[in-house]
Copies of this chain bind each other. A is one copy, B any other.
Amino acid sequence: MPLRFAKATDEAYRYPLTIRHLLDRALTTSADQEIVYRDQYRFTYREFVQRVGRLSSLLSSLGAEEGMTISVMDWDSHRYLEAYFSIPMMGAVLQTVNVRLPIDQLLYTLVKTKPGLLLIHRDFFPFLDEIRQAVPGLKAIIAIMDGTGEPAPAWAAGDYEPLIAAADPDFDFKDFDENAIATTFFTTGTTGNPKGVCFSHRQLVLHTLALCGHSGDTRHRGFGVDDVYMPLTPMFHVHAWGMPYIATMLGLKQVYPGRYDADMICRLRTEHRVTYSHGVPTVLQMVIAAADRTGTDLSGWMMVVGGSSLTPVLFEEARRRGMEIIGAYGMSETAPILTVTRRSPGSEPGAADESHLLTRAGVPIPLVEARIVDEDMNPLPKDGRSRGELVVRAPWLTPCYVGDEQGSKALWRGGWLHTQDIATIDGNGNVTICDRLKDVIKSGGEWIDSIQLEGIVATADGVDEAAVVAVPDDHWGERPLAVIVAAPGATVTLGTLNRPIEAAIEGGAITRYAKLDRFIAVSELPRTSVGKIDKKTLRARFGSAQAEGSAATEPRAT
């Protein structure tokens, strides 16, 4: 047996990795630093810590207790940040409700967690009857009137701000087991109902430390003392990638934008000189468009982009406006960050491989062990060519899907978390996601990378957006179907779509089986609640498509 601290003094402080301790340092370094909500509220960290105490006193007076789930339905706000700390610090479980889910699925998540208390923004009051029916055990509801000046409805315990103002700032936060669950939320499943994941205090503290540690390693600008932080990933979505916890631990100025409104985001960026944000490619696109429209200067704004793959085109658009862009990769199940991009060791900004490297998944952050494996879990070489499923270990991965034993077992088959992504890893640790395990197209015995093919199709003349899914084919097993949104006034044919594909085949970048023999033009691509292209819907809708430019009109890629 290894030695233990059997002889530690009783007096020695046994420091638990609980969320409470993320606040310790900020109060020392940044008591007068500010946290801002739109143009409505500004607080110092000194006040923020008091408000966290006030919220706990309030929740406690409404019947909160250790182990109770307390659900929040709100936009990105100081309130959400207060809940990120206050609810777990009391020993309760914060449920961050995905307010973009279809109402049936949203209700499903509440039925599963059985919250005792609910904080709800007025935008979601229309769902209140259904929610109360679905969760009869609710002890109280706090209404968020969001500075409208309207009184809280009669069914509510009151409006958030006046309730907080009246509550006691001194709440006696106690130490407890760091393995207590801090948060829970649901992934937007691609099949069936959403799946619940959960994370302990220890896990969230370790994710915070490791991600923060990576920031020093990258030779990017890092994330630290002079940054002004504004999340552009919804706070219900995997703790806004964990970044609010880092920003608070470091005591940085923080700006919360509320419900996303591109003009407001540009105004906040300018007024507070925001320097550090993160979001999905769609949000980056939205920010660029709004900035162009409003004449907002974007230079020096660092954005971590993840959630779906970042195209080199969008990367360059952002860079041309002076933004610094890095890619990152993770999942709801992984708290979420697993990898963050960085330049090649020894390379300078602007090096030739930069846009290639910075738009990949990145290298594992500290304490992340990453492998690619075959179907029998045999590790494959990290040579940048071999493809296999990416499996990972790290101290912050969800231990289960809540209440789903079979799903949990599949997630953790063989003691590694299965990402269900097909990837390569090169000698410098750069992970490149090739495809979702279930999105990969198997045609004539060859694997066609649907994401790569999508990227190529998107460069064809007259194409605004493109998705590629597999459709069944008697002869080939599966064939790729391109679903495109054409630019206004453009004429798109199989011939125009195949032009860049043929060039890529010529150059050896993709298999000749990728040449299209069918496509469909639509006015809009379906997206999931987090903005990803919804391939499940595409497959359901077009799964048997021969469609425009069908196999009959053009030769197959043989």
Contacts and interface: CB of A to CB of B under 8 A. Distances in A.
Interface of A: 1-5, 7-9, 11-15, 17, 21, 24-25, 28-33, 66-67, 91-93, 176-177, 179-181, 198, 200, 206, 209-210, 212-219, 222-226, 249-251, 342-343, 345-346, 363-370, 382, 393-395, 397, 399-400, 402-403, 405, 408-409, 411-417, 425, 427-429
Contacts of A402: 7
Nearest to A407: B9
Contacts of A91: 1-2
Given A28-B429, A216-B217, A217-B250, 14 more contacts: A2-B92, A3-B93, A5-B181, A9-B412, A11-B413, A13-B393, A13-B417, A25-B364, A209-B366, A212-B366, A213-B215, A225-B342, A226-B346, A250-B366
A13 B396 CA distance: 10
Nearest to A251: B429
A427 B417 CA distance: 44
A409 B11 contact: yes
25 contacts: A2-B66, A2-B177, A2-B181, A4-B181, A5-B179, A5-B198, A9-B405, A9-B411, A13-B412, A14-B399, A15-B367, A17-B206, A21-B367, A28-B425, A30-B429, A206-B209, A209-B209, A216-B216, A216-B224, A217-B250, A218-B225, A219-B224, A219-B225, A249-B366, A250-B366
A212 B367 CA distance: 12
A313 to B, nearest CB: 27
Given A21-B367, A226-B345, A397 B12 contact: yes
B67 A9 contact: no
A346 B33 CA distance: 12
Contacts of A209: 206, 209-210, 213, 366-367
Contact of A12 (B9, B15, B400, B428): B400
